[in-house]
Amino acid sequence: MSTAAVHQPTAHPENRTAPQEAHVTSTATPAASSTVASAETPAAGSVPPSGPTPRAGSGRAAGRRRLAGAVAKVGPLLAAVAGIVAVWYVVTYLVLSPERRFLLPPLHQVLGTTLGNPLVMGPMLDALWQTVGVALCGLAIAVVLGIGYAVVMVQSGWAERILYPYAVILQTIPILALTPLIGIWMGYGFSARIVVCVIIALFPMIANTLFGLQSASPAAHDLFTLNRATRAQRLFKLQFPAALPSIFTGLRNAAGLSVIGAIVGDFFFQQGSPGIGGLLRTYTLRLNMDSLFMAIILTALFGVAMFSVFAALDRAVIGRWYGRSGA
């Protein structure tokens, strides 16, 4: 795994208004925010203004529409998976000569030798479970630290000027340059894996939370000033609620990164029960291709699952927040 591959998906320091944050970038101007919101979730516009009046008879149509919506959502994903499988088989049978076919064994062989064999699947699922634990643990710590750091930064201009550079430095040092040191300092076990995970997932939490906390309009701040709001009132009644959409954007990105962090941690810190990243390394050394591919498939599924869960959480919470789910 190269450094570039680890670092590519993280938010770049200058990129604080990157596409993944698009739906929060304009909350600073009240005029723009309404249009931005509907751009973020096209469904918002089509919801009838007064929610609680579903007419009889529209129930079946709504059900059909929901089914169509689910198909529209899942369809492209299934098509993408089918495309990958197709390319896989093409490479296995048409590109590779029989004696080199072991480089990419056919999918049914990968599934056949692993899924049915508890001696292979058992340790693999245990390892995956271990990695899930590290990722969630690291993510939780990164969320708390990231939000806390941003809240401190937003308290004053100089706090931000002093503290932001540390976040940027943390972000720009390639994690692979730090891992040996983390190993020496922390040992090669569970806690070192979590530290890698936290370091990798922290920056999007900090950057998105900070951006969100600063997104309330100057006029809204004036409103609070005119009513003599305390610092706490301003934070909890204005800045924090205004930041919620970007906090969830940060959470979504951090969730994806925590998976990478956990696997990188597994890969380097092999003390204690192995994670899926540890098994990846073992399978690679033994050229156990079937198991290697199964492990890769499992990590991919894990990554997709994490991202989807947090994306769904994002939509649900933000939808409620802005009163989309009916009055």
Partner 1 sequence: MTRTLVLDDVTKAFPTGTVALEEVSLSVSAGEFVSVVGPSGCGKSTLLRLASGLDEVSGGDVEVNATSTSYVFQEPTLLEWRSALRNVELVGELRGVPKLERRRRAREALDLVGLSGFEKQHPRQLSGGMRMRVSIARALVAEPDLALFDEPFGALDEITRLRMQTELQSLFALKSFAGLFITHSVSEAVYLSTRVVVMSGRPGRVVADIPVPWGYPRTPELRYEPEFGALVGEVSAALGEHS
Q: Which of 238, 254, 255, 295 binds partner 1 (CB under 8 A)?
A: 238
- C-alpha 16/C-alpha 20 separation (Å) is 9
DSSP labels, 51-64: TT-PPTTHHHHHHH
When the beta carbons of 17 and 34 are compared against partner 1, the nearer one is 34
* Shortest distance in whole angstroms from residue 29 CB to partner 1: 8
Q: Which of 244, 296, 297, 313 binds partner 1 (CB under 8 A)?
A: 244
Q: What are phi and psi of 82, to 5 degrees?
A: -60, -40
When the beta carbons of 8 and 29 are compared against partner 1, the nearer one is 29
Residue 7 vs residues 12, 13, 149, 196, 203: alpha-carbon distances, Å? 9, 12, 21, 13, 11
* Shortest distance in whole angstroms from residue 140 CB to partner 1: 24
Q: Which of 6, 11, 24, 37 binds partner 1 (CB under 8 A)?
A: 37
DSSP 179: H
Q: Can residue 324 be called a binding residue for partner 1 (CB under 8 A)?
A: yes
Sign of CA pseudo-dihedral 9, 14, 211, 34: negative
* Shortest distance in whole angstroms from residue 316 CB to partner 1: 14
Q: Can residue 249 be called a binding residue for partner 1 (CB under 8 A)?
A: no
When the beta carbons of 217 and 282 are compared against partner 1, the nearer one is 217
Q: Can residue 41 be called a binding residue for partner 1 (CB under 8 A)?
A: no
Q: Can residue 54 be called a binding residue for partner 1 (CB under 8 A)?
A: no
b or e along 109-147 (b: 16 or more beta carbons within 10 Å of the residue's beta carbon)? ebeebbeeeeebbebbeebbebbbebbbbbbebbbeebb
Q: Which of 4, 228, 285, 287 binds partner 1 (CB under 8 A)?
A: 228
Q: Can residue 28 be called a binding residue for partner 1 (CB under 8 A)?
A: no
Q: Can residue 161 be called a binding residue for partner 1 (CB under 8 A)?
A: no
The 184-223 contact track toward partner 1, x by CB under 8 A, reads ---------------------------------x-xx-xx
When the beta carbons of 44 and 168 are compared against partner 1, the nearer one is 44
- C-alpha 226/C-alpha 221 separation (Å) is 9
Residue 170 vs residues 38, 162, 187, 202, 264: alpha-carbon distances, Å? 35, 14, 21, 9, 17
Q: Can residue 26 be called a binding residue for partner 1 (CB under 8 A)?
A: no
Angle at 38 between CA 46 and CA 235, to 5 degrees: 130
- C-alpha 241/C-alpha 27 separation (Å) is 12
Q: Can residue 49 be called a binding residue for partner 1 (CB under 8 A)?
A: yes
* Residue 205 · residue 251 · CB < 8 Å: yes
Q: Can residue 30 be called a binding residue for partner 1 (CB under 8 A)?
A: yes
When the beta carbons of 166 and 236 are compared against partner 1, the nearer one is 236
Residues at the interface with partner 1 (CB under 8 A): 30-31, 33-34, 37-38, 44, 49-50, 217, 219-220, 222-229, 233, 237-238, 241-242, 244, 321-324, 327
